[in-house]
Amino acid sequence: MLTASIDQPARAELVDEVARLLRDAMALYESDAETYALLAAHSRRLVEPLRVALAGMVKAGKSTLLNAIIGEEIAPTDTGECTRVVTWYRYAVSPRVMLFTLDGEKRRLPIVRVDKRLQFDMGELSADQVDRIEVFWPAPALRTLTLIDTPGIASLSTDVSDRSTRFLTPGDDPSEADAIVYLMRHMHASDLRFLEAFHDSSAGGSATINALAVLSRADEVGAGRIDSLLSAREIADRYRHDDTIRSLSLGVVPMAGLLAQTARTLRQSEFRALVSLAELDRADRELLLISADRFCRPNDSIGVDAQTRVNLMRRFGLFGVRLALVMLRSGVSDADELAQALARRSGLDELMQLISVQFEARSALLRARSAIAVLDEVLHHHDRSGTDELKASVERVMANAHDFQELRLLATLRTEPVALTPQQVEEAERLLGGEGVDDRSRLGLHDDFPEADSRSAALEHLQRWRALQHNPASDRALTTVCSTVVRTCEALVAHAPGAARPQRARLVLAAEPRPGSG
C-alpha cells in the first residue's frame, strides 16, 4: 500500500527547527515572565496531541458527539452548570477530573457516575467562576487527540456564548485549538460568522483552513424515517459546494450523533431487547414504530416492557431503533456487529476518517505553524538585542518550508479566484493534500491501483503542471501557484516505488600530507 507521506522526514526536520527557535527565544526572553510563559506553552504544545475543539449552537450535539468519539459517556449532555464551562478531555492512565478557577485555584473533583454517565460536581462554584475543567481519562481515542467541549455559540445567555467565543477566537491571539469540528443543524448567519472568526484567529492568522462542519442530528431531517441520512447527505453536499463554506471548512459531514454515541456504547441488554422487538410480526412491529409516543406506550402484548422501550428511545431515537431493527432482520447476529454497522451508518466513521486525514496527519505541522506564527509576533512586538538573527531564521522557515506553502495555497485555492479551471483547482487541492497527505490520496489512486505504476501517475501530474507553469500565457500569480504544485509533484515522483534515491555525499578524510611531501 502506498500510504507513506512524501514529506514525513522534511516535516520532522521542520518541527525540530521550530522547537530549536522556540528554545532560543525562551533564552532571550527569560527575564520577561509573560512572554517566556507564552513561548514555553507553545514549546510544550509541539509535542502534545492535536487539540480539536467541538463547537456549535446550544443543543447542536457537541457533548453527544464527543462521547461517540471517545467511546464512553463521560461528557455531560444535560443543561447543568458544567455544560457552561470549557472542558478539556486528555489521555491519562488513571481517571481524574481537575477544575481550574478564574482566580488560579486548582481543585480535584470527585468522579461520580449517575446512570452510567459521568457527572461533575463543582460544589459551591458557579460556571462564571470557573476557567476550565480538565478530564483525564484512559480512552484510546485520547492518545492522539485532545478534545475540547465548548459551551453553545449564540446562546440565549450572552455570558455562555461569550465564553466559547473568547476561548476559540481570542482576538489577535492564536486560538488554543489546533482545529475545530463545528456542529450545526442548519447553516445560519451566526455559524458563518463564527467560522470566519476562527479562520482569522486560528494558527496565529496563518490563513489555513482547519475546520470541519458537521450537519448534526441528521436523523431528524427526515423526521426519523429510515432514509433520513440520505436526505441529510443531499443537504450536506449542497453546503460542501457552497463557495462561502468551502472557504471556511474542509468538508461537511451529515451525522446522527445520538446514534453514533449509542453505537459506541451499546449494551448487551439493549441488544437483547432489540432482538425481541425484531422478532415481532411485521404488522405489530410497524404499528409500534409509527411514532416515539406509540413505541413507548405500555403494551403487555409486546415482549419488551415499556420502561425498557423508553430507555431504547432515549438512547437510540426513533431513527436508530428503526435502523437497528432493519439490520437485525437483515442478518446482523451479534452486538458487536450491530454496533459497528450503526456507527458506520451514523456518519461517525466518515467523520473520524476526515479528522484523521485532514487533522491528525497534519497535527505536527499545524502545531508548528501556530508556534512559528506566535514566535514571529513576539519578535516583532518585543524587540530587543539579539532578536534580529532570530527574526531572520523565522522568516526563512516561514518562506521556505514547503509544508507551509502547501497550507497557504490550499487556503488560497478555496478563498481567492485563480486562473484555473474547476478541474484544475480540484486536482491541485488533491495534490497538495486536501484529501489526505499520504501519496495515494494525493495522486487520487484507488486502493487496487498497482503500486508499481504510481511513479508514472506522479510523472503525468508533474509534466502537466510544469507545462502550465512555463506556459507564456500564465501570469505571475498562476506561475506561483504552479511552482508549489510542481514541487509537490517532484517529491511524489522521487518518493514513488522504483525511483532512484539520491546518494548522500560522503566526506572522506585522507591523512594530512607530511611537510615536504608531494
pLDDT at residue 309, as a whole number: 94
Q: Give residue-wise pLDDT tens across range 37-75.
A: 999 999 998 888 989 999 888 888 888 999 999 998 888
- 359 pLDDT more than 50: yes
Confidence of residue 518 (pLDDT cuts 50, 70, 90): very low
Query: What percent of the chain clears pLDDT 90, i.e. is strictly above it?
Result: 37
More confident residue, 44 or 166: 44
- 471 pLDDT more than 70: yes
Mean pLDDT of 397-411: 83
- The H or E element that residue 28 is part of is helix 8-28
More confident residue, 271 or 151: 271
Confidence of residue 334 (pLDDT cuts 50, 70, 90): very high
Phi-psi group of 157: left, alpha or beta (phi > 0 → left; psi -120 to 50 → alpha; rest → beta): beta
Confidence of residue 107 (pLDDT cuts 50, 70, 90): very high
- 459 pLDDT more than 80: yes
Q: What is the CATH T-level fold of the domain 50-259+349-361, as seen in this structure? A: Rossmann fold (3.40.50)
SS3 471: coil
Confidence of residue 512 (pLDDT cuts 50, 70, 90): very low
List of residues 6+ apart from 64 with CB closer than 8 A = 75, 77, 257, 258, 260, 261
- 22 pLDDT more than 90: yes
More confident residue, 204 or 500: 500
Confidence of residue 453 (pLDDT cuts 50, 70, 90): confident
| Residue keyed to cell 426513533 | 318
- 486 pLDDT more than 90: yes
Confidence of residue 232 (pLDDT cuts 50, 70, 90): confident
- 406 pLDDT more than 80: yes
pLDDT at residue 384, as a whole number: 85
Mean pLDDT of 244-271: 89
SS3 514: coil
**What's the mean pLDDT when you consider all of the chain?**
84
Domains of the chain, by residue range, sit at 50-259+349-361, 266-335
- 206 pLDDT more than 70: no
pLDDT at residue 189, as a whole number: 78
Question: Measured between alpha carbons, how far is 35 from 19 in angstroms, rounded to an integer?
Answer: 16
**Least confident piece of the model among 121-125, 453-457, 458-462, 508-512:** 508-512
SS3 481: helix
pLDDT at residue 106, as a whole number: 92
- 126 pLDDT more than 60: yes
pLDDT at residue 516, as a whole number: 47
pLDDT at residue 392, as a whole number: 92
Query: What percent of the chain clears pLDDT 70, i.e. is strictly above it?
Result: 87
- 513 pLDDT more than 80: no
Confidence of residue 510 (pLDDT cuts 50, 70, 90): very low
- The H or E element that residue 53 is part of is strand 50-56
Q: Give residue-wise pLDDT tens across range 167-191.
A: 777 666 667 888 889 998 877 777 8
CB atoms within 10 A of CB 281: 8
- 255 pLDDT more than 50: yes
Helix, strand, coil abundance in the chain, percent, nearest 5:
55, 10, 35
Helices 422-431 and 454-469: crossing angle, nearest 10°? Answer: 130
Question: Edge-to-edge strands of the sheet including 106-109?
Answer: 106-109, 96-101, 130-137, 87-91, 145-149, 50-56, 179-184, 211-215, 252-254
Distance in angstroms between the alpha carbons of the first and the last residue of the chain: 57
pLDDT at residue 506, as a whole number: 45
pLDDT at residue 158, as a whole number: 60
pLDDT at residue 168, as a whole number: 76
